[in-house]
Structure 1
Amino acid sequence: MSKAEQFAKKRKVRLVIRTVVLFLLLGAVIFAIVSKDTEKVLAVGDKAPDFELVDLEGNIHKLSEYEGEGVFLNFWGSWCPPCKEEMPFMENQSKEFEDKGVHILAINIKDTRLKAETFRDQYGLTFPIAQDKDESVRRAYNVIPLPTTILINKDGVIEDIITTGLDEEEIRQAMESIQPE
């Protein structure tokens, strides 16, 4: 085989590879556009999707069972610095608002049970901590950054979506905003 024939053969192979890569990229772009259109993004005013998760003590928490009360739904991970900062504030406010009809439900993302229990014990947390092992609740709520807090009113409607860490005063104000009258 001459050098010209070898060059022509290599050129054909490159052309085939480039064509395949182009079609794969085109398919990925189309998939991203189509899947984005079908994904419902939650917003303030939407009914909060119901879910059922088990906490670290083995208790089942179903969001719909909190109807008539406010829910401070917090998604967190032990590796998240803002999550670590806000947890003691959440603990303080949970004690303040529990008798006022506002409950904290913390949902751990991506930690092992042992890691979540160690974190709970290290911070002395007493509010329920559930684990979203398959991340179905995280996906239903479109949670990307951690921490994310969803404030849900007594009617099960989303009042606010907060995608940053909170200080104690902000947590108190958030809990007041969903306190049943």
Structure 2
Amino acid sequence: MTAAKFSPNKLLLPALLVLLIAGLTTALLSGQKTPLGKGSTSGGPAVSASLPQLTGETLRLADYRGKVLAVNFFASWCASCWNELKGFEQVSREYAAKGVAVVGISVQSSPQDTRGMIDKLGLTFPVGLDEKGAVSQEALGLRGMPTTLFFDREGRLLDNVTGEVSEAELRAKLDGLL
């Protein structure tokens, strides 16, 4: 009696199929709007999140009521996040006089990595720390980085974008809320 020979080629097709399905799923989901958790539906009230900052102060989203607010969730390990944050910094400086605030929330990144990112990019807007994803993933159900939420002056969530936002897109979104 002879033993059947193991052929790695028999595993190749199923493995490629799994990778293809995973890649397509990721591509399809990354272009969708992010589903938001309870208490934060589009047009609904803002999440009353409070997060520590590297400065020792507390970032409270409720403090921005009365301003148009862009909240950018980013991570130090996310290349798209690095790409878009310089534009967010520029817009933050230019739009402050118009009653617009930009804040960042660093997700699943250590304080040291977040500090390095802030310093390297020259970010001056407030950044909250969500090291364990309690706000971004558990409370809001965000699934991808970067994600940006847009709130009106009354604190209602009006739009959200998962994926990289160019400076021009950010300006257009904010201009539409002013």
Taking structure 2 as the reference length, the TM-score comes to 0.74
Measure the CA separation in 2 of the matches of 1:112 and 1:132.
Answer: 9
Structure whose alpha-carbon radius of gyration is higher: 1
Measure the CA separation in 2 of the matches of 1:143 and 1:110.
Answer: 12
Measure the CA separation in 2 of the matches of 1:152 and 1:68.
Answer: 10
Measure the CA separation in 2 of the matches of 1:58 and 1:42.
Answer: 27
Measure the CA separation in 2 of the matches of 1:67 and 1:44.
Answer: 16
Q: Report Cα offsets for 1:47-81 as digits up to 9, x if no partner.
A: 12111112221221211111111110111001111
Structure 2 unaligned spans of 5+: 1-36
Q: Between Structure 1 and Structure 2, how many residues are aligned? A: 141
CA contact (8 A) 1:82 1:147 kept: yes
Aligned-CA RMSD value: 1.5
Measure the CA separation in 2 of the matches of 1:152 and 1:130.
Answer: 17
Greater share of residues in helix? 1
Matches within 5 A, 1:114-133: 114-133=112-131
The SS at the match of 1:49 is coil
Partner of 1:57: 55
CA contact (8 A) 1:53 1:62 kept: yes
Deviation at 1:45, TM superposition (A): 1.0
Identity %: 29
Taking structure 1 as the reference length, the TM-score comes to 0.73
Partner of 1:107: 105
Structure 1 unaligned spans of 5+: 1-38
Deviation at 1:42, TM superposition (A): 4.0
CA contact (8 A) 1:41 1:142 kept: no
2:41 aligned residue (43, 64, 77): 43
